[in-house]
Amino acid sequence: MGAPLNTEMSAKALLRRELLAARRLLTDQDVERAAAVLARHALALPEIGGARTVAAYVSVGREPGTRALLDALRTRGVRVLLPVLLADNDLDWALYEGPGGLAKAGRGLLEPVGERLGPDAVLDADAVLLPGLAVDARGMRLGRGGGSYDRVLARLTAAGATPALVVLLYADEVAARVPAEPHDFPVNAVVTPEGPRRFSAG
């Protein structure tokens, strides 16, 4: 049983390297333009546009930009939860209070400085924005491999919580197939600069 799992893990590592290399070729202008379009498309998705609480994250580097979306949600009165990375790679959560309420943290991340609400705060979310590198036609997401969001998804499942799971990506990151392991969860939708797409498996 060990060989197929190791094959999937090495296939994931290879695909991650390729996708991160492609992102490094993007300019600041590419990222900024895509972020504005992503925010518009994401807000048009009823799962996000109609949510009262959204668990999101602050994009860094060449990731598909979330900042325009975070500010738009906050302006609409949506309660936006942002992750705080714990020492064991699990995630705590705090409210997004605007760009001035973010501080530099480890691994190049930006985190909210407000009151920590606890790892279970994500259970209140109507929608969860997941960082990712790719998604396939089944809705299987390729993350960065740290495992933090695997814990979040396991926590949601254990509690019977069913928020919409949405990943923001660039158009060429929607792949034919993403290597998947037994603990991987499908997402409900992907938003790219070309628009949103739902997955029936999600």
Write out pLDDT tens, residues 40-72: 999 999 999 999 999 999 999 999 999 999 999
Which residue range is the domain that position 58 belongs to?
A: 2-198
pLDDT tens-digit profile of 99-158? Answer: 999 999 988 889 999 999 999 999 999 999 999 999 999 999 999 888 899 999 999 999
For all residues of the chain together, what is the average pLDDT?
Answer: 92
Domain total for the chain?
1
- For 173, the token pair is 């990151």
Buried b (16+ CB within 10 A) or exposed e, 182-197: eebbbbbbbbbbeebe
CATH classification at residue 176: 3.40.50.10420
Instruction: Quote the pLDDT of residue 4.
Output: 52
- For 96, the token pair is 């997004």
Question: What φ, ψ does residue 48 adopt, rounded to 5°?
Answer: -100, -50
Note the pTM of the prediction, 2 decimals.
0.91
- Answer yes or no: are the C-beta atoms of 145 and 13 closer than 8 Å: yes
